[in-house]
Amino acid sequence: MTLAGIIAGTAISLAAARSIENLLFDVSPYDPAVFALVSTSLLAMALLAALVPSWRATRIDPVRALRAD
C-alpha cells in the first residue's frame, strides 16, 4: 500500500511540478535526487511504523491470543 502511495504521489508531483516552477530558485522541479530521497524516506518510515507492531505480535503465544477471543 505504501508503494502504491509513493508511485501515485510521484506521478502527481511530476504533473504539478510545472505549476510551481517559477517559485523555485536555482532548483529544478524535476530533480531526481529529491524524488528518490523523499520516496526512500517515506518507505523507511512506513517500514519502521510497521516493525514495532509486527515485532510485538510475534511475541504473543497464538493459543493464548485465540483463547482471549
**Predicted confidence (pLDDT) per residue in 1-60, tens digit:** 999 999 999 999 999 988 888 888 888 888 899 899 999 999 999 999 999 999 988 898
What pLDDT band is residue 63 in, cutting at 50, 70 and 90?
confident
Q: How far is the C-alpha of 59 from the C-alpha of 10, rounded, in Å?
A: 37
pLDDT at 27: 82
Angstrom distance (rounded) from CA 27 to CA 55? 41
pTM above 0.75, yes or no: no
The letter for the amino acid at 57 is A
Buried b (16+ CB within 10 A) or exposed e, 25-64: eeeebeeeeebeeebeeeeeeeeeeeeeeeeeeeeeeeee
**22: DSSP letter:** G
